[in-house]
């Protein structure tokens, strides 16, 4: 019999871990969208049989005449959203990240981005937030999507930011891809935090080592920075929620003030944030030792998020080690 | 009333004249370049003439008029036919047509939505019908009585996305949506290879009000379009049996008609055939 882990069991529905002692917000995406839909009648909602697991049901319940479940048909999800957009709607659509990226890529690129259609894709369970293995884990989605021109890509950190992103994307022209956090989403960022499309946010200043992170790994970075203080490390944290367009200037400025850099993302080490940071710094001639915290290439197994993060090296202790030991 | 070129009553002979004008225009567009998707264009000319000069509501001076009917050309490589009809309908200056397929032209070999009157980027097959479903839903939400017409082809039915859209159109009861399926029997590698028939039965089974006609018979086209005006809660499909190269007998007989190259010496003969066929 195979040895099992102490880290619980597989959970497939993308609820986050490390919530002990943290305030949470239940279904921030759907609740914010339902409210926004009251203010803006041009907003419509679609899902590809992932209404429950993408938290869009509050919008459906509030605006049933503006909601369409196309079934397990991600290509049609994007096509129908683009068609709605071309009649003046702002079409928010949801499914899992893996399905909209791997199955519907051509449609996102051409019917969406190329057509400058107001399609706002909220893609559930990015990275290791899904425990159902490689079929359900979007670990290369940033890499894929950044290759599409005229596409905005956002990886929010927490419920505070996600609610702001729901509103902001309505006014970002064209097609937007957002990595969606669902269920009980922790509140990690301060109340005065303001998401600005295309801009990175300095969340913590420091000396010596600076973390550049995106998505919920920014919460890990903040936790790790606090945990490292007792070891005499005062790490800075730059949060980069907008992956495309990339805030090159902020990243270069931040990195230039530190001796070494740690990049943390809920994604493979290649093609995502670490690659973007590397390109930006190399182009600018700001060369710093860098540790990339992310996933090595591979297909990943089923399991609890705790188990997977520990096994594949993206959990809190991994970030602390990078800050304190520099390894 | 906004400007419209829709005829008050079907005049089949006048529509046939329009179709002939489109064919002549397409032949002119291939002149000099010597190549293009002319066979498909000649085959779909009757359908486009019936749509633009009998059925569709539009105003060429206002391509973005919200109450226009939408025509989506899903097969972007049929662009030569699209530009011919857009010029005939007043969206384009006919003097621009000779730029078809040239570098920097607004009339590229495959359709882009930058051309006035072109609703979608149509080059990647399987993209049209789903967007048509979305447009039909959007118009319905707004309470507009505009309709959406989407051309697609039999070869394009290989694309699974088309069937996702077919299910969607029926599920959402889009009776303001008409699919025009150009069954010309050819695709890039030759004859249609996948067992796609019976096309009409498939659309019927998917919940569409379906008709099947000779797509080069103007009277049948007009009658089918009129029948498709019913708003009975179901989307409409018209299966068009067309002949590639219709109107130019030598082209009609070509076994490989997907992408035709026409030599300078042949061109005048083909033009003469077209005029003789009409005569």
**Does position B210 have pLDDT exceeding 70, yes or no?**
yes
Same domain, A44 and A75: yes
Sign of CA dihedral A34, A36, A41, A43: negative
Note the pLDDT of residue B187: 87
Same domain, A32 and A179: yes
The CA distance from A131 to the nearest CA of chain B, in Å, is 28
Note the pLDDT of residue A1: 45
The rounded distance, in Å, linking the Cα atoms of B71 and B90 is 15
The pLDDT-based confidence of A86 (bands split at 50, 70, 90) is very high
Q: Tokens at residue A13, please?
A: 């529905």
For residues A184 and A234, is the Cβ–Cβ distance under 8 A?
no
Same domain, A208 and A144: no
**Does position A19 have pLDDT exceeding 90, yes or no?**
no
Note the pLDDT of residue B267: 85
Q: How many Cα atoms sit within 13 Å of B91 on the Cβ side?
A: 21
Same domain, A165 and A269: no
**Does position A221 have pLDDT exceeding 80, yes or no?**
yes
Give the CATH number for residue B229.
3.40.50.970
Classify residue B36 by its DSSP letter: E
**Does position A136 have pLDDT exceeding 60, yes or no?**
yes
CB-CB under 8 Å, A91 with B171? no
Q: What domain count does chain B have?
A: 1
The pLDDT-based confidence of B214 (bands split at 50, 70, 90) is very high
Query: What are the tens digits of pLDDT across the range A119-135?
Result: 999 999 999 988 889 99
Give the 3-state secondary structure of chain A: CCCCCCCCCCCCCCCCCCCCCCCEEECHHHHHHHHHHHHCCCEEEEECCCCHHHCCHHHHHHCHHHEEECCCCHHHHHHHHHHHHCCCCEEEEEEEHHHHHHHCHHHHHHHHHHCCCCEEEEEECEHHHCCECCCCCECCHHHHHCCCCCEEEECCCCHHHHHHHHHHHHHCCCEEEEEECCCEEECCCCCCCCCCCCCCEEEECCCCEEEEECCCHHHHHHHHHHHHHHHCCCCEEEECCEEECCCHHHHHHHHHCCCEEEEEEEEECCCCHHHHHHHHHHHHCCCCCEEEEEECCCCCCECCHHHHHHHHCCCHHHHHHHHHCCC
Mean pLDDT of B245-255: 87
Domain end among A153, A186, A219:
A186
Same domain, A151 and A228: no
**Does position A165 have pLDDT exceeding 90, yes or no?**
yes
Q: Using a CB–CB cutoff of 8 Å, tell me whether A66 touches chain B.
A: yes
Q: Pick the residue from chain B with its C-alpha nearest to A84.
A: B134
Q: What domain count does chain A have?
A: 2
Mean pLDDT of A101-119: 98
Note the pLDDT of residue B181: 98
The pLDDT-based confidence of A8 (bands split at 50, 70, 90) is low
Same domain, A178 and A249: no
Note the pLDDT of residue A48: 98
Percent of chain A with pLDDT over 70: 94
Mean pLDDT of B47-62: 98
Note the pLDDT of residue A4: 55
For residues A104 and A78, is the Cβ–Cβ distance under 8 A?
yes
Note the pLDDT of residue B256: 73
B2 assigned to some structural domain: no
A9 assigned to some structural domain: no
Same domain, A173 and A212: no
Domain end among A186, A221, A240:
A186
Note the pLDDT of residue B257: 72
Mean pLDDT of B167-171: 98
B contacts of A68 (beta carbons < 8 Å): 137, 172
Of B113, B137, B161, the CB nearest to A84: B137
**Does position A9 have pLDDT exceeding 50, yes or no?**
yes
The pLDDT-based confidence of B189 (bands split at 50, 70, 90) is confident
B1 assigned to some structural domain: no
Note the pLDDT of residue B1: 41
Report helix, strand or coil for B151. strand
Mean pLDDT of A287-302: 97
B76 assigned to some structural domain: yes
Same domain, A31 and A141: yes
Q: Tokens at residue B92, please?
A: 């384009």
- Best of A68, A79, A174 to disrupt the B interface by mutation (most B CBs within 10 Å)? A79
The pLDDT-based confidence of A20 (bands split at 50, 70, 90) is confident
CB-CB under 8 Å, A76 with B130? yes
Q: How distant, in Å, are the alpha carbons of A20, A29, A130, A141, A225 from that of A23? A: 9, 16, 21, 29, 19
Domain end among A161, A186, A211:
A186
A contacts of B172 (beta carbons < 8 Å): 68
Mean pLDDT of B88-102: 95
User: In degrees rounded to 5, what are phi and psi of residue A158?
Assistant: -155, -170
Note the pLDDT of residue B6: 52
Query: What are the tens digits of pLDDT across the range A272-289?
Result: 999 999 999 999 999 999
Mean pLDDT of B123-144: 97
The CA distance from B92 to the nearest CA of chain A, in Å, is 21
Mean pLDDT of B51-78: 97
Note the pLDDT of residue A298: 96
Mean pLDDT of A47-76: 97
Classify residue B53 by its DSSP letter: I
For residues A113 and A142, is the Cβ–Cβ distance under 8 A?
no
A119 assigned to some structural domain: yes
The pLDDT-based confidence of B159 (bands split at 50, 70, 90) is very high
**Does position A6 have pLDDT exceeding 90, yes or no?**
no
**Does position B3 have pLDDT exceeding 50, yes or no?**
no
For residues A73 and B168, is the Cβ–Cβ distance under 8 A?
yes
- The torsion defined by the Cα of B241, B79, B140 and B1, in degrees rounded to 10, comes to -100
A71 assigned to some structural domain: yes
Same domain, A60 and A164: yes
Same domain, A33 and A151: yes
Classify residue B114 by its DSSP letter: T
Give the CATH number for residue A46.
3.40.50.970
**Does position A15 have pLDDT exceeding 80, yes or no?**
no
Mean pLDDT of A6-13: 58
Task: Look up the ipTM and state it.
Answer: 0.94
Q: Output B263 or A35, whichever has higher pLDDT.
A: A35
The pLDDT-based confidence of A11 (bands split at 50, 70, 90) is low
B250 assigned to some structural domain: yes
Note the pLDDT of residue A14: 62
The rounded distance, in Å, linking the Cα atoms of A180 and A161 is 11
Quick one: how far is CA A8 from the chain centroid? 24
Note the pLDDT of residue B2: 47
Q: How many helices (H) and strands (E) does chain B have?
A: 9, 9
Q: Pick the residue from chain B with its C-alpha nearest to A89.
A: B138
Which parts of B142-212 fold into alpha helices (H)? 160-171, 199-205
A2 assigned to some structural domain: no
The residues, any chain, with a CB within 8 Å of residue A4's CB and separated by 6 or more, are none
Mean pLDDT of A73-101: 98
CB-CB under 8 Å, B113 with A80? no
A86 assigned to some structural domain: yes
B7 assigned to some structural domain: no
Query: What are the tens digits of pLDDT across the range A178-210?
Result: 999 999 999 999 999 999 999 999 999 999 999
Note the pLDDT of residue B260: 76
The CA distance from A65 to the nearest CA of chain B, in Å, is 8
Q: Which of A279, A203, A220, A213 is nearest to A241 (CA)?
A: A213
Give the CATH number for residue A259.
3.40.50.920
B85 assigned to some structural domain: yes
Classify residue B189 by its DSSP letter: T
Mean pLDDT of B114-137: 96
The residues, any chain, with a CB within 8 Å of residue A294's CB and separated by 6 or more, are A263, A264, A265, A266, A267, A268, A269, A272, A273, A274, A314
Mean pLDDT of B80-109: 95
CB-CB under 8 Å, A82 with B171? no
Of B113, B136, B165, the CB nearest to A76: B165
Least confident of B4-8, B40-44, B100-104, B122-126: B4-8
A5 assigned to some structural domain: no
Note the pLDDT of residue B9: 72
Note the pLDDT of residue B114: 87
Note the pLDDT of residue B278: 77
A229 assigned to some structural domain: yes
B162 assigned to some structural domain: yes
B3 assigned to some structural domain: no
Q: Which of A179, A239, A243 is nearest to A213 (CA)?
A: A239
Give residue B31's domain range. Answer: 12-278
A19 assigned to some structural domain: no
The pLDDT-based confidence of B31 (bands split at 50, 70, 90) is confident
Same domain, A232 and A144: no
Same domain, A36 and A158: yes
Give residue A148's domain range. Answer: 24-186
């Amino acid at each position: 019999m195979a040895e099992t882990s102490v880290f619980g069991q597989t959970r497939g529905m993308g609820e986050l871990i490390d919530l002990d002692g943290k305030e949470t917000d239940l279904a921030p995406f759907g609740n914010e969208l339902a409210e926004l839909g009251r203010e803006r009648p041009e907003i419509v909602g679609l899902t590809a049989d992932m209404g429950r697991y993408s938290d869009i049901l509050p919008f459906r319940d509030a605006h049933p005449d503006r909601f369409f479940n196309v079934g397990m048909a991600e290509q049609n999800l994007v096509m129908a959203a683009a068609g709605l957009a071309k009649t003046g709607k702002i079409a928010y659509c949801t499914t899992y990240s893996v399905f909209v990226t791997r199955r519907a890529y051509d449609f996102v690129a051409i019917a969406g981005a190329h057509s400058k259609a107001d399609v706002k894709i909220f893609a559930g369970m990015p990275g290791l937030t899904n425990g159902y293995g490689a079929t359900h884990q979007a670990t290369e989605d940033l890499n894929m999507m950044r290759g599409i021109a005229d596409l905005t890509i956002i990886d929010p950190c927490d419920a505070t930011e996600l609610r702001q992103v729901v509103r902001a994307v309505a006014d970002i022209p064209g097609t937007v891809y957002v990595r969606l956090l669902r269920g009980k989403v922790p509140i990690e960022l301060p109340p005065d935090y303001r998401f600005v499309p295309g801009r990175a946010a300095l969340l913590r200043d420091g000396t010596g080592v600076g973390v550049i992170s995106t998505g919920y790994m920014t919460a890990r970075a903040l936790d790790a920075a606090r945990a490292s203080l007792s070891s005499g490390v005062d790490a800075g944290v730059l949060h980069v929620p907008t992956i495309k367009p990339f805030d090159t200037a902020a990243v270069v400025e931040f990195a230039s003030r530190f001796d070494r850099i740690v990049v943390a993302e809920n994604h493979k080490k290649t093609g995502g944030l670490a690659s973007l940071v590397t390109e930006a710094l190399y182009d600018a001639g700001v060369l710093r030792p860098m540790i990339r915290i992310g996933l090595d290439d591979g297909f990943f197994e089923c399991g609890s998020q705790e188990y997977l993060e520990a096994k594949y090296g993206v959990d809190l202790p991994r970030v602390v080690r990078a800050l304190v030991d520099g390894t | 009333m906004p400007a419209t070129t829709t005829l008050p009553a079907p005049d089949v002979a006048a529509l046939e004249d329009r179709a002939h004008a489109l064919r002549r225009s397409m032949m002119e567009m291939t002149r000099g370049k010597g190549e293009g998707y002319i066979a498909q264009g000649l085959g779909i000319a009757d359908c486009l003439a019936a749509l633009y000069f009998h059925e569709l509501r539009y105003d060429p001076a206002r391509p973005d008029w919200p109450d226009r009917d939408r025509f989506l050309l899903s097969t972007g490589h049929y662009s030569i036919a699209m530009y011919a009809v857009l010029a005939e309908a007043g969206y384009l200056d006919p003097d621009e047509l000779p730029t078809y397929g040239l570098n920097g032209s607004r009339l590229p070999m495959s359709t882009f939505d930058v051309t006035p009157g072109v609703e979608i980027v149509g080059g990647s097959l399987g993209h049209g019908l789903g967007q048509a479903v979305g447009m039909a839903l959007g118009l319905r939400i707004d309470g507009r009585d505009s309709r959406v017409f989407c051309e697609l082809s039999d070869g394009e039915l290989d694309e699974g996305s088309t069937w996702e859209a077919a299910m969607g159109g029926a599920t959402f009861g889009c009776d303001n949506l008409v699919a025009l399926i150009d069954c010309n029997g050819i695709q890039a590698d030759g004859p249609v290879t996948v067992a796609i028939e019976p096309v009409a039965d498939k659309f019927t089974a998917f919940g569409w009000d379906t008709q099947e006609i000779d797509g080069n018979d103007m009277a049948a086209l007009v009658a089918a379009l009129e029948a498709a005006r019913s708003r009975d809660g179901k989307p409409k499909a018209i299966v068009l049996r067309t002949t590639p190269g219709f109107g130019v007998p030598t082209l009609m007989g070509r076994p490989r008609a997907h992408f035709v190259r026409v030599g300078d010496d042949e061109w005048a003969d083909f033009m003469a055939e077209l005029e003789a066929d009409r005569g």
